[in-house]
Structure formats: structure tokens, C-alpha cells
Amino acid sequence: MIALCWLRRDLRLNDQAALYHALRSGFPVVPVFVFDTNILDDLEDKADRRLQFIHDALENIQLQLKPLKSTLDVFSGTPEAAFRHWMQKYPLKAVYTNHDYEPYARNRDAAVAKLLEAGGISFHSYKDQVIFEQNEVVKDNGEPYTVFTPYSKKWLSKLDDRHLRSYPTEEYHTVFYQQEVIPVPSLRSIGFEETVRNFPDSTPEDALIRHYDKTRDYPAEQGTSRLGVHLRFGTISIRALARKARQLNQTYLKELIWREFYQMILSHFPHLVHRSFRPAYDAIQWRNNEEEFARWCRGATGYPIVDAGMRELNATGFMHNRVRMITASFLTKHLLTDWRWGEAYFAQKLLDYELASNNGNWQWAAGSGCDAAPYFRVFNPALQTEKFDKGLEYVRRWVPEMDEPAYMSSAIIAHDAARQRALEVYGKALKNE
Ligand code: FAD
């Protein structure tokens, strides 16, 4: 009999909850992965860098399995088709995987569990991608928190060494099922193209984390960890990272708590995928001007800090957090464009795209989210630049033409007029809030 370990957003062999339990099950283990066509068919960009990232991570796992005379088994198709295939191929006894909290994933896992159980195969799922799940940090009355500060206090008060302990999968490596290597399908064979591999490193310097609170707000510097994509696909263990954060820098640990805060929020309020947390915000009369939106997307608003951010995003798949806040505020307040438009654009482009964090932060920027800044706080791009990119190093890197007269006269709208308009339109929608 055989056990499968189904990898999804936990693309590593070390300190991995499901793999640890699979290896201890007593059955030889085959790690498996599905290139899920339900998801991939919706991706318009066939040179999507995230596919390259995933592919590289799978190849890396394959390399680690080779000396153990084992292999990863990768299927391209729907998850149900994949498991039908594996049920034919292996004498399956059990499938191990880690919890995935997004609405699509929950439905997918329920369908697969049903299929397996009908075939007499057990399905086991574990917490792996967070320290605390949605119901582990709640108010004393059992309700979910909707404000970050008390949530983070409770989170920290619950944290002890037990939660950060690593799963020692390396002690059980002899339990992988031994068979010939099954090559990982090429990107081309699943309808995608290879892209440049300019991915951030998965092991940040201790010094970076140690000084994070002093460097994190300056987009010209390499002052943040760039681990978002590794957390997204599980090429780093959240427990290992949280251990490091706890030891080196509380501000960094707090960022990891934000990540769990938004995951918790989306789990409790799945309707937020489409709707505002504060319902009155869905009455805002967005202008949704398509031409302005296109200018925002390509970094041609005439506001250097906004354009720099969008160009960085388009060119690299990354945008610094400070600039994400500025560009998001600009789209929703200055251009009065529905936050869902911006959210969808970031979802296409960000390497570290994460539904819960993206949605939560966009709603924060638009003012519609839980614990969001009051709507009348409209970021001033010039003041933000003055504060966080004083030497103009970041904006010049991405907008070298910023001093040319043609650029200087190309602003999409004057700041004061935009601010006034935003206050009026928001104010009208929210007068009864
Ligand atoms: P660091 O500053 O080094 O932080 C370490 C980790 O903490 C991050 O990788 C991330 O996992 C977590 N984190 C930090 N800030 C936040 C935050 N505000 N909310 C949630 N988690 C946080 N983050 C995503 O992971 N995916 C997204 O799709 C995403 N979309 C965003 C959209 C907008 C409009 C804004 C304002 C922010 C968004 N963020 C998102 C949050 C944040 O900008 C990124 O996590 C961060 O910039 C990633 O860079 P880093 O890994 O260097 O982060």
C-alpha cells in the first residue's frame, strides 16, 4: 500500500506538516503535485513568472528526491482527474495534504476527499502555512477579531515554542516510495513559456531582518525580505521564519501576523472576495474610467512615485509595500476607480499574489476594509515621496524622464482637485454610515 503527499502551496520537503505525517504513516510515500487546469486556464499571460517559480521549486524537490531513489509525480489536469489517475496507478491507502483556506481550495479539497473516501482511501489535512488558523486566535467570546491590534496582542500572547517547532521530515527519508524518476512536465507542455528567473532568495540575511524596522519603508533600498513569494508557495517554512523574527525583530514578526490576520478575516468573511467589508462602501459612485485605468496600469499617470511603482510591478512582479499603498490609494481616491479593478490587476502581476493579503490590503487602501484608515485620509504622492524617497533614487530608477517638461505636464489630475473630488464622492456614499 502507498500514501500520497499532495503538495500545493507547501513546495518543500523540510519542516512540512503533511509530509511529516505521511512519512510516519507506515506506508511508502509518493509526493505528488497537480498543475491544476481549473486555475491555469484562467491565466491570460502565458509567460506568467509564477509558473516558472513553481516549476523551479518542483525541479528542486525532484533533485532532492533523486538520491533517495524516489520521485515526484506531477499531473496536469483537474485535481479529480489526477486522483482518478493515481488511484489506478498506485495501491493507495491514504492521501496527506496541508490545509488551504481559500474558497476555491476548500471546495476542491472537499471534492477530492469525497472521491477518495468513496474509493476507501483516507484523506488527512494539516495546518502548515500559518502559525495560528482562523479559529485559534479569537475574542474571549469566540467571535473573530476585525481590528488588527487586539488580534496581534492575542496572537503574541498565545505563541510559545510549541507552535514554532519544526517537523523533522529528514528523520524519515527512507520511507519515500522508490521508483524511477518521473520527469516534471515542461512549462511548454502545459501551455506556458519559460521566463527569466530573477526570483528573490529564500534565505534572507539575519542583518536584514534585524534592521527591518529601520529600513522597511524606503523603496530605494533592499530593506524588506522579499519573502512574499516563498511564503505564498511554501518554499520557506513559516515556523522557521517566525522563529527568526521572534529572535531578531518584533516589527518583522508583526508583518507575519498581518498575513495571518488577513487569512483569518477571509476565512471568516469569504464574501469579501467580491464585496466591501463595510457595506456602505459598495454605494460609492466609482468613475471607472478605462483610459485612466490603463494609464495607471502602465505607469503613465504623470505622478512619478505612482508610475515608478507600477513600472516596477510590470517589470519585476514585485512592488515595495509603501508604494503598493500609494498606488492603491491613488487608483481608488485620486482616480475614483473601484478597488476591485486594482486588486485584479495586482493579482495578475504580483509574484507574491495572495488572495487574502491582496484583498485585505486593497480594501484597507480604499477605506472599505476592516481596520482601514478613515476615507478622508488621502495619500499625497508628493509628500510620500518627500518622506520615503527623499533623494528620488527610487523614482528616477523607474521614471528617468521625470524632469522632462513633457512628463512634468502629463499629470492625469491635480492632487488638490482629486482629493476634493474623492472627499465629495466618498462623503456622499457614506453619509449614513
Ligand atoms: P516584508 O516587508 O519583508 O514582510 C515579510 C512578510 O510579511 C511578507 O512577505 C508578507 O508575507 C507579510 N506581510 C508584510 N506586510 C503585509 C501586509 N500589509 N499584509 C499581509 N501580509 C504582509 N502581500 C502579499 O503577500 N500578497 C499580496 O497579494 C499583497 N497585495 C497587496 C496589495 C496592496 C494594495 C498592498 C498595500 C499590500 C499588499 N501586500 C500583499 C502586502 C505587502 O505589501 C507585501 O506582503 C510585501 O510588500 C511583500 O514584500 P516582502 O516579502 O519584502 O515583505
- The DSSP call for residue 143 is P
Give the chain's mean pLDDT: 97
Residue 357 beta carbon below 6 angstroms from any ligand 1 atom: yes
State residue 347's pLDDT score. 97
C-alpha 150 to ligand 1 mean position (Å): 20
pLDDT-derived band of residue 420, with 50, 70 and 90 as boundaries?
A: very high
C-alpha 200 to ligand 1 mean position (Å): 14
C-alpha 324 to ligand 1 mean position (Å): 9
Mutate to test the pocket of ligand 1, among 213, 215, 361, 384 (most ligand atoms within 8 A of CB): 361
Q: Mind spelling out the 3-state secondary structure of 251-302?
A: HHHHHHHHHHHHHHHHHHCHHHHCCCCCHHHHHCCCCCCHHHHHHHHHCCCC
pLDDT-derived band of residue 259, with 50, 70 and 90 as boundaries?
A: very high
Output the residue whose Cα is nearest ligand 1's atom 47.
321
20 in a known ligand binding site:
no
| Grid cell for residue 418 | 482629486
pTM of the model: 0.97
d(Cα 112, Cα 105) in Å, to the nearest integer?
10
d(Cα 86, Cα 305) in Å, to the nearest integer?
51
State residue 357's pLDDT score. 98
90 in a known ligand binding site:
no
433 in a known ligand binding site:
no
State residue 375's pLDDT score. 87
What is the number of the ligand 1 atom nearest to the C-alpha of 328? 34
State residue 198's pLDDT score. 87
Would you mind telling me the total number of residues written for the chain in this entry? 433
State residue 113's pLDDT score. 98
**Percent of the chain's residues with pLDDT above 90:** 95
Contact status, residue 237 vs residue 98, Cβ threshold 8 Å: no
Output the residue whose Cα is nearest ligand 1's atom 30.
358
**pLDDT for 411 beyond 90:** yes
Residue 352 beta carbon below 6 angstroms from any ligand 1 atom: yes
Output the residue whose Cα is nearest ligand 1's atom 8.
228
**Percent of the chain's residues with pLDDT above 70:** 100
Output the residue whose Cα is nearest ligand 1's atom 43.
321
pLDDT in tens, 261-316: 999 999 999 999 999 999 999 999 999 999 999 999 999 999 999 999 999 999 99
Domains along the sequence of the chain with CATH: 1-128 (3.40.50.620), 130-165+204-268 (1.25.40.80), 273-427 (1.10.579.10)
pLDDT in tens, 30-44: 999 999 999 999 999
pLDDT-derived band of residue 371, with 50, 70 and 90 as boundaries?
A: confident
pLDDT-derived band of residue 208, with 50, 70 and 90 as boundaries?
A: very high
260 in a known ligand binding site:
yes
State residue 332's pLDDT score. 98
C-alpha 228 to ligand 1 mean position (Å): 6
State residue 220's pLDDT score. 98
**pLDDT for 163 beyond 80:** yes
C-alpha 357 to ligand 1 mean position (Å): 7
Residue 50 beta carbon below 6 angstroms from any ligand 1 atom: no
pLDDT in tens, 64-108: 999 999 999 999 999 999 999 999 999 999 999 999 999 999 999
d(Cα 375, Cα 362) in Å, to the nearest integer?
13
**pLDDT for 241 beyond 90:** yes
Q: Which phi and psi (to 5°) does residue 183 adopt? A: -60, 145
**pLDDT for 372 beyond 90:** no
State residue 51's pLDDT score. 97
Residue 262 beta carbon below 6 angstroms from any ligand 1 atom: yes
Mutate to test the pocket of ligand 1, among 222, 231, 357 (most ligand atoms within 8 A of CB): 357
Question: CB 88: neighbour CB atoms within 10 A?
Answer: 8
pLDDT-derived band of residue 433, with 50, 70 and 90 as boundaries?
A: confident
35 in a known ligand binding site:
no
d(Cα 20, Cα 133) in Å, to the nearest integer?
19
**pLDDT for 53 beyond 80:** yes
Average pLDDT over residues 326-343: 98
**pLDDT for 432 beyond 80:** no
C-alpha 91 to ligand 1 mean position (Å): 42
* Alpha helix ranges (H) inside 303-414: 304-316, 321-329, 339-349, 355-366, 381-388, 393-398, 405-408
pLDDT-derived band of residue 322, with 50, 70 and 90 as boundaries?
A: very high
State residue 264's pLDDT score. 97
Residue 325 beta carbon below 6 angstroms from any ligand 1 atom: yes
pLDDT in tens, 374-394: 888 899 999 999 999 999 999
- Active-site positions? 255, 258, 286, 321, 339, 362
Average pLDDT over residues 237-258: 97
State residue 385's pLDDT score. 98
State residue 218's pLDDT score. 98
ipTM entry: 0.99
State residue 82's pLDDT score. 98
13 in a known ligand binding site:
no
State residue 34's pLDDT score. 98
Q: Which is nearest to 177 in space by CA: 102, 336, 57, 71?
A: 71
